[in-house]
Structure 1
């Protein structure tokens, strides 16, 4: 996986810099998300991996499926990827683009998994604490996970805060076994 990320990075960076410099970050985000979703489709993956197709044919196939969700610059980007045999990297490119965009906008998406429904007041307190800790605007997505015995599990990018009962029990078991 690291190799795909290494290959995808310059394309994601170029797309991000173009979108940032032309004040079209949101539009490019949508285009890349759409193109990435299309390339994840099993049928489209078969088309994109067909060695009998030319780069131009592959780009045209992807552009046709994406339809009006790609503007002229988005179509040009797809053509560049096709000519370099990199269309299958669109999911990685999209993820990296979103990371660059979040860093630019100083935002972070946080997933909160809780054993029980989180009240609005608790969620707002959590947002404030995370905003201060991460020094970014925080967008919280709360999910009830009945597998947790209690507490919460928070994921913000690479940061994981495991305040769940299951996590605490696992740490206790590790400590007792070592």
Structure 2
């Protein structure tokens, strides 16, 4: 069977194109995130796996559970997913939609793991340099991980910059063992 990301891609692209056309990127993002969270519930997972419930009933129920977050476009997407028995893809569709949205908006969510807390000035400098390097508006999330010993690990999508003491020691050990 194909990977979830491969199956979810056309749905995410279609949802993204509809959102751009309607000028509702944030509303779609919110709807997909809500639906992705709902689909992760054990009760909902059992419900959508129930063969005695029609596809239409499943789509309607999911839309009702999402409440006001579920716009008309998202309801149409639910109908298509129901017809093709693809509800388990909702979490991946949401993730891929958010990647397309970030690319469109020229923004990036960056996670910085540091051995110590960073001052506001350090965060500002790091944010400015990453914005320049990535050519995007950067939203930093700082996580403290004392196991790093010192330095930072920066993750922005596929890009990972490991400038931690632990990472350097690991590279040194690998070099000595080879």
Which range, TM-score by smaller chain?
Answer: over 0.9
CA distance in 1, matches of 2:175, 2:112: 26
After superposition, residues 27-46 of structure 1 pair within 5 angstroms as 27-46=27-46
CA distance in 2, matches of 1:2, 1:92: 13
Aligned to 1:77: 77
Q: CA shift at 1:53, angstroms?
A: 2.1
SS in 2 for 1:147: helix
Aligned to 1:5: 5
CA distance in 2, matches of 1:157, 1:41: 26
Q: CA shift at 1:42, angstroms?
A: 1.6
SS in 2 for 1:104: helix
Asked whether the 8 Å contact 2:113–2:144 carries over to 1, the reply is yes
After superposition, residues 55-134 of structure 1 pair within 5 angstroms as 55-134=55-134
SS in 1 for 2:23: coil
Q: RMSD in angstroms over aligned alpha carbons?
A: 1.3
Runs of 4+ in 1 over 4 A off after TM superposition: none
Aligned to 2:176: 176
CA distance in 1, matches of 2:24, 2:69: 14
Asked whether the 8 Å contact 2:16–2:100 carries over to 1, the reply is yes
CA distance in 2, matches of 1:2, 1:126: 39
TM-score, structure 2 length as denominator?
0.96
Distance verdict in 2 for CA 1:145–1:2, change over 3 Å: farther
Q: CA shift at 1:2, angstroms?
A: 6.4
TM-score, structure 1 length as denominator?
0.96
Query: Per-residue displacement from partner, 1:44-72 (whole Å, max 9, x unpaired)?
Result: 11111223322112112211211222122
SS in 2 for 1:163: strand
Any gaps of 5 or more consecutive residues in structure 2?
Answer: none
Asked whether the 8 Å contact 2:111–2:155 carries over to 1, the reply is yes
